[in-house]
């Protein structure tokens, strides 16, 4: 569905997913011990925030556009720092934060929504971005793409 490619800002997609989790939080819920639940909420949420802020900072440091709706405005291909481990650390951060909320809501439907976010962002945001970056940065992007995973590389 090309009509959705780069049309909806990823933070808005994440917010819609969060609202759906809240809406369906009572459906297919499961119990989880309070301390264990707090750990499974805090760790991915904090990691997601750190990833997002770090990735955003790397873009600002390079002086390139951070606008996910217009990847063609990027002036520099950022490949250092957190970008050595993920081509999309901001989206990984959003995914981790949504994962934390899915544990908070304690619902299998919430977990399914996180999976839906993963597939939606991959198809309608990341893949179209990659096409634009490949056109714009050519061999540099292809080399980067071959050495760094789309979501997460544990080197």
pLDDT at site 80: 94
At residue 149 the predicted structure's pLDDT band, cuts being 50, 70 and 90, is: very high
Q: Is residue 20 part of a domain?
A: no
In a domain, residue 84? The reply is yes
Pairwise pLDDT comparison (24 vs 44), residue with the higher score: 44
The reply to whether 17 falls in a domain is no
5 in any annotated domain? no
* Pairwise CA distance, residues 137 & 147, whole Å: 15
Considering the domain boundaries, does residue 74 fall inside one? yes
As for how many domains the chain has, the answer is: 1
Whether residue 2 is contained in a domain is answered as no
Burial of 107 (0-12, 13-18, 19+ CB in 10 A): buried
Domain range enclosing 102: 42-155
Tens digits of residue pLDDT in 59-91? 999 999 999 999 999 999 999 999 999 999 999
Q: Is residue 149 part of a domain?
A: yes
Q: Is residue 16 part of a domain?
A: no
Give 84-138 pLDDT, tens digit per residue: 999 999 999 999 999 999 999 988 999 999 999 999 999 999 999 999 999 999 9
* Per-residue pLDDT band at 155 (split at 50, 70, 90): low
* First and final C-alpha spacing in the chain: 34
């Amino acid at each position: 569905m090309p009509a959705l490619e780069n049309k909806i800002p990823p933070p808005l997609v994440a917010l819609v997913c969060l609202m759906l989790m809240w809406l369906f939080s009572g459906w297919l819920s499961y119990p989880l011990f309070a301390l264990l639940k707090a750990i499974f909420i805090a760790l991915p949420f904090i990691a997601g925030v750190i990833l997002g802020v770090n990735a955003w900072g790397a873009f600002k440091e390079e002086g390139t556009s951070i606008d996910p709706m217009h990847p063609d405005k990027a002036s520099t291909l950022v490949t250092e720092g957190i970008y050595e481990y993920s081509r999309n650390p901001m989206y990984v951060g959003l995914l981790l934060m949504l994962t934390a909320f899915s544990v908070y809501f304690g619902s299998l439907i919430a977990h399914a929504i996180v999976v839906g976010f993963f597939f939606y962002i991959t198809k309608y945001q990341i893949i179209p971005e990659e096409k634009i970056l490949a056109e714009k940065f050519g061999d540099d992007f292809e080399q980067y793409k071959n050495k760094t995973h789309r979501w997460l590389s544990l080197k």
